[in-house]
Structure 1
Amino acid sequence: MIAAYQAPLFVLSFRQRDELASLAAGAGWQVVAARRAGGAERRFLSSGAAVAVIDARGATEDGLSAVAMLSGAIEANGGALLALVSRGEVGTIAALFEAGATHFLASPFSEAEFLQALRFAARHAERLAREWAAGPVFATLGWRYDLAGKALVLTPGLMELLGLERAVGVRALLRRLDKGDRAAAVAALRRMSPARPATAFAHDADGIGRMVQHLQWDQTTQRIEAVVEPLGSVPEPAAEMREALAGNRDASNARRWLTRQLENSREEPLHMMLVALNRFEMVNTAYGRSAGDALLRSAQKRIDDVAREMLGRDALVSRMGGATFAVAARAPRLRIDLAVARIAAELARPFVTGESIAVLGCRIGLAEAREEDSAASLLRRASEALAEARESDSATMRVADADTDGEPIDRLAVELNHAMDRGEISVLFQPQVSVSTGAIVGVEALARWEHGVLGTIGAETLFAAAARADLDIGLSDHIQKLVLAQAAAWPTSLAGLRLSLNLTAGDIARPGFADLFLDRVDSSGFPRSRLTLEITESGLIEDLGIASNLLSVLRGAGCRIAIDDFGTGYSSLAYLKALPLDYLKIDKKLAQDITGSPRDRIVVRGVIDMARSLGLTVIAEGVENEAQLEALAKEGCQIYQGFLCSEPITLAALVALMAR
């Protein structure tokens, strides 16, 4: 009997490999069969199959492990996974489903039943492929409101559609509606209750037309979630941008995003990476599904932050299923390599899960799009690279069909000395805002490298390259001179602002640095009294006695001292006891937790209370929305900086911002 399916099929059976392979081959499938789980993910991907069969009969634990091993590749590539179970072990179906199986068949079964199950699985994969190739869906327009934390989050697509450049609060959003529509929105929110968890209301939106917002109250998470449905046609430019930015919702949108990118050839190459968390199943098993879900949200936030900073707003970030994420962008290979390194470093940092700490790490597969690639083939090549990385004992990343020419930091290190000579190192300024008055009271100077090929490179990567090239002291001197020269020439509109300048651990360890630095400040003409020197808590200052003496000299000379990124390292209390400080800057990751769980808020409150008890002014970094600012203000934070006011900007943009 020959079936219509002349397609690849992957079969893993620990005891009946040949029997199952013969049944499928007789029906026209091109079978790749295995008896051992080792290398199964790579073999499945290289087979080109969209359907995998895992025979768990009489080998439940091995079957569960194999399903979990293949689930990421199945979900990322839009496939189907048929699990075979013994009739007496049907209770394992729930566990297999949780592990990633999409279809099930219990034995004993006939040849016809097995082949029919294969057909159902193949149709499932075909349906996914059709959905992924379909046009945009409006479900990418929506918002979520956390009732406990009072935090409102809009999808990127909705923000773009409404013309918003940064996060807004509930009141700001309601003010965009006319009086009648505003009343309808408030009434809809008020009528929601445990007995009535879903409702809707309609309103007009300028330039878009009539819209319906479908609201649902999730009692478990205490959140209100909304899907926004435009009743008319979305303006085309906004629709295109919405799709590009909101394509980070799920695997279907990711596939469509990739398809559009591949259809439109551009100068920069398209790169696709798949990022899989290590040991994630241990968290689910040990702490439960809710803890696992919270960890996945934290992981995606870290990946989002790196992608936004290093690859731009147009980059795709998507959870493909399980603990696997996709990141794609058009950028030079070196910038992609730097982003890979940063993502790996961020995911290597510990995660908090309940009362415990989980250290996971990740493996990454990277592929560069070829001219003949479709979204499916590009994803599959990235999946193959990820499978190779997982099989490796030590490699975090593997690249599909490509050779590397050295670590990215090493390549940048070679270029850095010439970059300083060519004037490629520049300075941006991020405003610091008084919480009580809303006035800009100071700025932090942040170094950037305007690379001829890679575009803008941030300070973290810049100093990492300098350390590799043994140029960290030279780079620090170069930036200090640059910042002081610009600040000394500020117009009168900036005359009242404080200037925050970062010192490195290398600066503090240099003999005679205090005299050298003060001479540099005085030669520039910038007043010492308006200068704040920031030291990084995680800057590996080994001798706090030397650091304390140096900073005491600088403070006695009129400068002020701030500890930066407080909350990221392990020596926090020792720093507070030993160093002469005026300001404590809460790290952005800690500050953003203020709208998280009650436990998160207690930690931030404790830091602020401790700092104020020591007479320190508290500055919160990374404040992105009004909910975070409101919560920080209630806890006693005095100054903030972050995207809520402004991203780091040029001197000209700063002058214009002060004028407004």
Structure 2
Amino acid sequence: MTGTPNAPLFILSFRQRDELASLAAGAGWQVVAARRAGGAERRFLSSGAAVAVIDARGAPADGVNAARTMSGAVEANGGALLALVSRGEAATIAALYGAGATHFLASPFSEAEFLQAVRFAARHAERMAREWAAGPVFAPLGWRYDLISRTLILTPGLAALLAIDDEPSVRAMLRRLDRGDRIAAVAALRRVSANRPATAFAHDSDLTTVGRVVQHLQLDAEGGRIDAVVEPLGSAPEPAAELRESLAGARDAGSARRWLTRRLADEAGAPLHAMLIALNRFDMVNTAYGRATGDALLSSAQKRIDDVVRDMLGRDALIVRLSGSTFLVAARSIRLRIDLVVERIAHALARPFVTGDSIAVLGCRIGLAEALPDDSAASLLRRVSEALADARESDTATMRVADAEQGDAPIDQLAVELNHALERGEIGVLYQPQVSVSTGAIVGVEALARWEHGVLGTIGAETLFAAAARADLEIGLSDHIQRVVLAQAAAWPVALAGLRLSLNLTAADIARPGFADLFLDRVDASGFPRTRLTLEITESGLIEDLGIASALLSVLRGAGCRIAIDDFGTGYSSLAYLKALPLDYLKIDKKLAQDITGSARDRIVVRGVIDMARSLGLTVIAEGVETQPQLEALAAEGCQIYQGFLCAEPISVEALEALVAR
């Protein structure tokens, strides 16, 4: 097993091979290390390792090329590829991901963090190995040919049926075919090109359990490879679908059932849950606005579901659109986190969708089921379908759970725990850097609340404040966060002394009588200068009386603080806020900022927001910037500051100091 001592580990590092090898060997791994990419794929295969580490720090192009060369071997053997990257190199991470990396670790990192990342990758490889073993050896049958290294990789199922233990060659595989079939195979390989990326050929097989087969070939020009799926004749899948599903997830109902079957066979870990999400009123919108608009709505809905699921359940979760306007989500996780995901999805889909010049309000109904010990994929899907039907028949319920009585909502459970969490000091703060677009320097940070929950792990600010609102603790939570942030910022080291601090105010804060005096006294008592403090109010904060808000913010601004409107572009009171409130900064919502690299229409919308803000004398900050193309497009439109994973995720004070120093 890859997670046990003395398991093999392959490391390719162009500059720090010996250091990484020594570190891994000291932790009990049998290390095979290389400094040059030449022959790395063969060395990885011969090592017997399930995990390959590619150190791309300082040599990003070499790292990407090595990952592209090795990924076929890693994937086909159900392994994991851990890439080490320099922090802030988002373009390198994207390229490595496209080349086949499954895990990432950004420097600087400690020895313990490196070893933990290797263990995580090993666990992933173990899961992949169990998935290969869970099904029949002929599912999937396929192969991959790397056009650059000219190496052929068979899936374990095909290798087992052909009784091939060593690395095969194309010539040897062709010799296994009759002369006529060999001519057909060569002709098919020659047909594959950029102009004709998919083709197929049939032949009599020496796979005695399969008989006559058809091979579906698919060219991946960017990856420099040909993927093939071997299917019994008469079953013609989408080219490379089966192989792609085994490596990257499901694409349709059939592959979703196969995904569930594999997960049900692997009983380790948290319970498996499945949910069906059906959009409300979609048929009416589709009829009223046409097929193109309906397709765009489905795409937008899936993006919202993706965002929630990836944020709360990670990339191991299944997300697939079934027929019509129904989506399937499945994952292994504890019930409380699944319930929180359901609430987040329902909230996300309740937000209006823009359809051309109109607004469409859809909403959804959700059925949920936890897998039982004797469940098959079919029975699990049947039970979750019944739960969805119950939800649709209900006048008020958004969600129904199969074979279960309704208990307290998950937010209610968190609300009960929140008081104790405050007392135990579980509510803390991280800081996300804000970077000057023109100079690349970190000029400020936004303080973001985090709850380190004993069962659920890290809970973000959105869920945290939803629980506080349910428990009527919004003011108490806000006071706690303000005290923690101001105390920490006042004690910042000299390296951080020039940074601005952005602190979020809630609608409950603004509605409190006497809040301005109370808050300014708190700031002065902490010792943090008012002139370096920016107060953020969210556009979706449901401020009912803009007159009261404007008066309060004017007092705070007159006392030296600066004011920012947060998440601009998510609500429908935007222009009223700009007219009524004394503002210094406008923060573009991350979804709007990320859309700038989308269509020309998306870019025009972002350009209009930036032009309007700058004409009002406001500094523009873009949130959620993750890629270099996004940053370049925002810079071209006049954005002045950005924050997002392109620079750093929310981090501790210690990590912030190290980042600023670099």
TM range (shorter): 0.5 to 0.7
Instruction: Classify 1:593/1:152 alpha carbon distance in 2 versus 1 (closer, same or farther; 3 Å).
Output: farther
Residues 32-51 of structure 1: matches in 2 within 5 Å?
A: none
CA distance in 2, matches of 1:355, 1:482: 45
Counterpart residue type for residue 551 of structure 1: L
Counterpart residue type for residue 537 of structure 2: I
Partner of 1:316: 318
Q: So what's the TM-score if we normalise by structure 1? A: 0.65
8 Å CA contact 1:626–1:644 kept in 2: the answer is yes
Question: Match for 1:521 among 511, 518, 523?
Answer: 523
2:477 pairs with 1:475: yes
CA distance in 2, matches of 1:336, 1:536: 27
Question: Match for 2:597 among 595, 604, 608?
Answer: 595
8 Å CA contact 1:595–1:627 kept in 2: the answer is yes
CA distance in 2, matches of 1:293, 1:472: 39
- 2:294 aligns to what SS in structure 1? helix
Partner of 1:497: 499
Residues 33-432 of structure 1: matches in 2 within 5 Å?
A: 158=98, 160-161=100-101, 202-203=147-148, 228=223, 230=225, 246-432=248-434
Deviation at residue 421 of structure 1 after TM alignment:
0.1
Partner of 1:89: none
8 Å CA contact 2:146–2:225 kept in 1: the answer is no
CA distance in 1, matches of 2:622, 2:518: 31
8 Å CA contact 1:430–1:647 kept in 2: the answer is yes
Question: Match for 2:544 among 536, 542, 545?
Answer: 542
Deviation at residue 270 of structure 1 after TM alignment:
1.6
Instruction: Classify 1:405/1:542 alpha carbon distance in 2 versus 1 (closer, same or farther; 3 Å).
Output: same
Counterpart residue type for residue 327 of structure 2: F
Partner of 1:183: none
Instruction: Classify 1:292/1:462 alpha carbon distance in 2 versus 1 (closer, same or farther; 3 Å).
Output: same
- For residues 219-275 of structure 1, what are the alpha-carbon distances to aligned partners after superposition, in whole Å with 9 as ceiling and x for unaligned? xxxxx9967475699xxxxxxx99688315333443333233222223422211111
Partner of 2:68: none
8 Å CA contact 2:588–2:621 kept in 1: the answer is yes
CA distance in 2, matches of 1:305, 1:285: 27
Partner of 2:508: 506
- 1:367 aligns to what SS in structure 2? strand
Partner of 1:486: 488
Instruction: Classify 1:546/1:656 alpha carbon distance in 2 versus 1 (closer, same or farther; 3 Å).
Output: same
Q: 1 or 2 for the larger relative contact order (CA 8 Å, sep ≥6)?
A: 1
Partner of 1:197: none
Instruction: Classify 1:637/1:203 alpha carbon distance in 2 versus 1 (closer, same or farther; 3 Å).
Output: farther
8 Å CA contact 1:529–1:558 kept in 2: the answer is yes
Partner of 2:563: 561
- 1:322 aligns to what SS in structure 2? coil
Partner of 2:13: none
8 Å CA contact 2:539–2:565 kept in 1: the answer is yes
> What is the number of equivalent residue pairs in this alignment?
469
Instruction: Classify 1:414/1:295 alpha carbon distance in 2 versus 1 (closer, same or farther; 3 Å).
Output: same
Partner of 1:454: 456
| Percent of matched pairs sharing the same residue | 76
The list of structure 1 runs, each at least 4 consecutive aligned residues, that deviate by more than 4 angstroms after superposition, is: 135-138, 151-157, 162-166, 212-218, 224-233, 241-245
Deviation at residue 162 of structure 1 after TM alignment:
6.9
Instruction: Classify 1:525/1:464 alpha carbon distance in 2 versus 1 (closer, same or farther; 3 Å).
Output: same
Unaligned runs of 5+ in 1: 1-134, 139-150, 167-199, 219-223, 234-240
Partner of 1:637: 639
8 Å CA contact 1:136–1:243 kept in 2: the answer is no
Deviation at residue 585 of structure 1 after TM alignment:
0.5
Question: Match for 2:614 among 612, 616, 620?
Answer: 612
8 Å CA contact 1:435–1:639 kept in 2: the answer is yes
Instruction: Classify 1:526/1:155 alpha carbon distance in 2 versus 1 (closer, same or farther; 3 Å).
Output: same
Moved more, 294-303 or 552-561: 552-561
CA distance in 2, matches of 1:361, 1:354: 19
Partner of 2:240: none
Counterpart residue type for residue 610 of structure 1: M
Instruction: Classify 1:385/1:640 alpha carbon distance in 2 versus 1 (closer, same or farther; 3 Å).
Output: same
Partner of 1:585: 587
Instruction: Classify 1:552/1:280 alpha carbon distance in 2 versus 1 (closer, same or farther; 3 Å).
Output: same
CA distance in 2, matches of 1:467, 1:612: 35
- 2:322 aligns to what SS in structure 1? strand
Deviation at residue 152 of structure 1 after TM alignment:
13
- For residues 538-563 of structure 1, what are the alpha-carbon distances to aligned partners after superposition, in whole Å with 9 as ceiling and x for unaligned? 21222222222221221122211101
CA distance in 2, matches of 1:205, 1:504: 59
CA distance in 1, matches of 2:196, 2:526: 59
CA distance in 2, matches of 1:434, 1:350: 33
CA distance in 1, matches of 2:545, 2:481: 25
- 2:264 aligns to what SS in structure 1? helix
Question: Match for 1:623 among 622, 625, 633?
Answer: 625
8 Å CA contact 1:273–1:328 kept in 2: the answer is yes
8 Å CA contact 1:428–1:446 kept in 2: the answer is yes
CA distance in 1, matches of 2:336, 2:413: 8
Deviation at residue 215 of structure 1 after TM alignment:
5.4
CA distance in 2, matches of 1:245, 1:466: 41
Moved more, 289-298 or 242-251: 242-251
Instruction: Classify 1:163/1:370 alpha carbon distance in 2 versus 1 (closer, same or farther; 3 Å).
Output: closer
Deviation at residue 136 of structure 1 after TM alignment:
8.4
Question: Match for 2:654 among 639, 652, 658?
Answer: 652
Partner of 1:79: none
Q: So what's the TM-score if we normalise by structure 2? A: 0.65
CA distance in 1, matches of 2:92, 2:311: 22
CA distance in 2, matches of 1:152, 1:366: 38
Deviation at residue 498 of structure 1 after TM alignment:
1.3
Instruction: Classify 1:487/1:226 alpha carbon distance in 2 versus 1 (closer, same or farther; 3 Å).
Output: farther
CA distance in 2, matches of 1:488, 1:507: 22
Instruction: Classify 1:137/1:602 alpha carbon distance in 2 versus 1 (closer, same or farther; 3 Å).
Output: farther
8 Å CA contact 2:564–2:585 kept in 1: the answer is yes
Partner of 1:443: 445
- For residues 486-507 of structure 1, what are the alpha-carbon distances to aligned partners after superposition, in whole Å with 9 as ceiling and x for unaligned? 2222222222221110001111
CA distance in 2, matches of 1:255, 1:624: 33
8 Å CA contact 1:214–1:227 kept in 2: the answer is no
2:435 pairs with 1:433: yes
8 Å CA contact 2:275–2:368 kept in 1: the answer is yes
Instruction: Classify 1:354/1:571 alpha carbon distance in 2 versus 1 (closer, same or farther; 3 Å).
Output: closer
Counterpart residue type for residue 329 of structure 2: V
